Amino acid sequence: MVCTANICRSPIAHGLLRHFLDLKGLNGLVSVDSAGTHIFQKGLSPDVRAQQVAGDYGIDLSDLRSRNIRQKDFSAYNSILAMDYENYHILQEICPEQHRHKIAMVMEFAPESGVIEVPDPYFGNIAGFERVFDMLDVAMKGLIEHLHDNENRLIDGTLINKTA
């Protein structure tokens, strides 16, 4: 999961996916991580508003810390999901050519939403974080369905992320 600073959108998506993987019993088959394209201070906790909104649904983000996307992420993970076009294009630029096919927009897993970009809520109020949470909730449910439908392919770690 990739956004700009790795303190709002991508940690929410990370937490949601981790939560749904636990519920479906798939957490041992898929590893999840999040990163940012513009980290000025790595190691930050998710924004307090992101933690508050996620916490309202029983999803704990307190163990997550911001970090930059790394070159090794492109080979280590089978899918790199961007929150918006800006980050998608940055990922395409910095990704080795042989791994570019792994980059997609996170909202592709929620086609019924009619939305392709997840807006950055950082400069807004709590309502923006609630909207982002709702959008990512739908996308992560769609991703989980995709994983569940392809569960046999998960056994060899070929669908989303190679397990460590």
Residues noted as catalytic = 3, 9, 120
- Helix (H) / strand (E) element for 150: namely none
Q: What is the largest CA-CA distance in the chain?
A: 42
What interhelical angle do 48-55 and 126-149 show, nearest 10? 60
The encoded tokens of residue 145 equal 């369905």
The encoded tokens of residue 14 equal 């990370």
User: What is the spatial distance between Cα 23 and Cα 32, in angstroms, rounded to a whole number?
Assistant: 15
Beta-ladder partners of 68: 36
